[in-house]
Amino acid sequence: MMKILFIGESWIIHMIHTKGYDSFTSTKYEEGATYLLSCLRENKIDVTYMQAHEVQVRFPQSLEELQAYDAIVLSDIGANTFLLQNSTFYQMQVVPNPLELIKQFVTEGGGLLMVGGYLTFMGIEGKANYKNSVLADVLPVIMADGDDRVEMPNGFAPSATASHPLVDGLGVWPKLLGYNRLTAKPDAEMLLGHEDDAILTVGRFGAGKTAAFASDCSPHWGSLEFMGWDKYPLFWSNLIRFLK
């Protein structure tokens, strides 16, 4: 059974409720990939889920620990979360660079998928900042400078740009509500696109396989139409298996 480490797609919301003169605060925790992860597990993929806040204290500290998995998936989690772990930011310790470990993991045969969102690729206000990390070498796409979001409230349906088992037979895609602007590297293969932008790109780095999906696996870019698409489980399961 294929084993993956899925990282990200979780967040904490702090709210201020103002009612006339008085106000109070509340906090809630949310996860965005619940449906996706259930689809993968139902399709016999062994998923270890690491929420975004866990990375700062629980991300593997050695290549050997990462090699317990066949592939790593990063979704809506910025580079700073990996680079500024608690041991470094608060305790000034010298520790292995997690993104360097991921690069080595792929070099030696592991798979890597990055899924789009406000905190992947470059993201909102450029805060995901992967273009300025070692994963820029690993991913099969060239990232834009700064904020790379393309908001599409009117929706867009990506179209196949090549024949490939990952996209053949899926038919017309449902509409998505946005994406990160990406360009396929010359030695990579763009499988889905919108105008001149790469929506799904696959490639290789060292002995490993890589993929970049520019839109989201969940709301808000992942529209209700996309989440309810009958090919949704098949698409994601096949994409994950491609990485092995």
Residue 92 pLDDT level (bands cut at 50, 70, 90): confident
Residue 137 pLDDT level (bands cut at 50, 70, 90): very high
Look at residue 86 in the predicted model and tell me its pLDDT: 86
Long-range contacts of 38-42 (CB under 8 A, 24+ apart): 39/232, 39/233, 39/236, 39/237, 40/4, 40/6, 40/236, 40/237, 40/240, 42/233
Task: Work out the percent of the chain whose per-residue pLDDT is above 90.
Answer: 95
Residue 8, by phi and psi: left (phi above 0), alpha (psi -120 to 50) or beta? left
Look at residue 89 in the predicted model and tell me its pLDDT: 82
Whole-prediction pTM: 0.95
